């Protein structure tokens, strides 16, 4: 089997790169597939996660804009398709251009599109309602022209209104065989320092929490961006003694094992891979019930707390409960640990095998 994967980039610390590394390595090592990965503007940038040495990388130039998309970019991709002649093509790109591929490439009706975000993700808050609706319309129409639309959660199906949707969750990249002791006065969060991750509201909540329990620490692992200056926000909120900003790591598991809860405050999440990773380490999780991923993993008062989106007071109450009750942390963490076993790599890859063979 020869497969081509189109993805904007895989050299970052994001969840998509993490998931693709696990799946691609499995395809090569277990199924002996030939895997080509086509990226855009990656150049020879070093990879953050470990990919099998047999992966064949192709990088093309995409300068942005509609005319470049239908011109030079289309030409480059067509050359790759003609050279490789893949048996299957998988698109792991949630940008608008991915939904235009079916109108650019004649054979894309046999391609597969996987979604790693909500339909509403990346909507510009400053753009008008009509523009937002137009973009969602284009996405829905384009998605229907693929062979299948692969979603990370069953709940995402209601967004897309697509009869060809298939739910395949992300797999764990490690086996859950060790749990956090949940006695440290430390909670953890992770993700790129961008608006969609909601770190600003997390820090507001944390400010109130440590006013009551000043001996607790919040660690946030992630890549800086121009969107959100978390360092300055920590200073403005006078949280220097209670918040530590740390660089992204490809072994977040060790950080989870030294924490007592995981906090997610995203505005949108396609799946929330970090939630699954945290649960596999026995951490109770707190999350807003944002579109669409967290509710597939966090069961309120069972594996953690799933709270009404934007209800910061309820979120604060959940954080305080976990700070004050070690037994509660351990019970929720144990439930999450057991649930994470359903996401073992070999179990999830059987679903991909059924789809692609």
The model's pLDDT over 55-89, given as tens digits with 9 standing for 90+, comes to: 999 999 999 899 999 999 999 999 999 999 999 99
- In this prediction, residue 127 carries a pLDDT of 60
Going by pLDDT thresholds of 50, 70 and 90, the confidence category of residue 123 is very low
Domain boundaries, the chain: 2-172+344-356, 186-342
Q: How many CB atoms lie within 10 A of CB 287?
A: 27
177-194 pLDDT, tens digit each: 889 999 999 999 999 999
pLDDT at position 120 is 75
Question: What is the rounded CA–CA span in Å between residue 181 and residue 260?
Answer: 7
DSSP state for residue 152 in the 8-state scheme: S
φ and ψ at 277, to 5 degrees?
-65, -40
135: CB partners within 8 A, 6+ apart: 96, 123
Distance between CA atoms of residues 247 and 336, nearest Å: 26
Q: What is the predicted pLDDT for the residue at 357?
A: 82
Same fold? 2-172+344-356, 186-342: yes
Strands 217-221 and 243-246: parallel
CATH of 2-172+344-356, one of 3.40.640.10, 3.30.930.10, 3.40.50.11810, 3.40.50.2000: 3.40.50.2000
Structural contact between residues 244 and 218, judged by C-beta atoms closer than 8 angstroms: yes
E-strand ranges in the chain read 2-6, 34-40, 56-60, 88-91, 112-115, 148-151, 165-167, 186-190, 217-221, 243-246, 262-264, 285-288, 304-307
279: tokens are 């649960």
pLDDT tens string 235-271: 999 999 999 999 998 888 999 999 999 999 999 888 8
CATH architecture of structural domain 186-342: 3-Layer(aba) Sandwich (3.40)
């Amino acid at each position: 089997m020869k497969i081509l994967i189109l993805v904007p980039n895989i050299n970052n610390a994001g969840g998509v790169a993490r998931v693709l590394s696990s799946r691609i390595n499995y395809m090569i090592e277990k199924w002996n597939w030939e895997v080509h990965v086509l990226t855009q503007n990656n150049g020879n940038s070093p990879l953050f996660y470990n990919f099998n040495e047999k992966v064949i990388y192709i990088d093309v130039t995409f300068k942005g804009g509609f005319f470049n998309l239908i011109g030079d970019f289309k030409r480059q991709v067509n050359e790759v398709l003609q050279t490789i002649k893949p048996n299957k093509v998988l698109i792991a790109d949630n940008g608008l251009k991915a939904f235009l591929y079916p109108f650019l490439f004649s054979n894309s009706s046999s391609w597969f599109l996987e979604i790693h975000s909500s339909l509403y993700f990346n909507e510009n808050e400053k753009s008008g309602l009509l523009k937002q609706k137009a973009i969602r319309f284009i996405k829905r129409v384009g998605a229907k022209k693929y062979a299948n639309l692969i979603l990370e959660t069953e709940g995402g199906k209601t967004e897309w209104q697509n009869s060809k949707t298939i739910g395949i969750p992300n797999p764990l990249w490690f086996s859950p065989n060790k749990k956090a002791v949940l006695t440290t006065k430390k909670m953890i969060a992770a993700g790129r320092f961008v608006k969609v991750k909601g770190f600003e509201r997390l820090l507001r909540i944390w400010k109130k929490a440590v006013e009551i329990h000043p001996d607790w620490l919040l660690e946030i692992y992630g890549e800086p961006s121009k969107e959100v200056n978390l360092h300055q926000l920590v200073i403005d909120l006078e949280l220097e003694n209670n918040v530590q900003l740390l660089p992204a790591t490809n072994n977040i598991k060790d950080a989870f094992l030294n924490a007592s809860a995981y906090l997610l405050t995203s505005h949108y999440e396609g799946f929330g891979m970090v939630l699954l990773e945290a649960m596999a380490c026995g951490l109770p999780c707190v999350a807003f019930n944002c579109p669409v991923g967290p509710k597939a993993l966090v069961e309120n008062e069972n594996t953690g707390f799933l709270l009404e989106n934007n209800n910061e007071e309820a979120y604060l109450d959940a954080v305080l409960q976990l700070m004050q009750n070690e037994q509660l942390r351990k019970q929720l963490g144990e439930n999450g640990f057991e649930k994470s076993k359903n996401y073992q790599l070999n179990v999830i890859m059987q679903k991909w095998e059924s789809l692609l063979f």
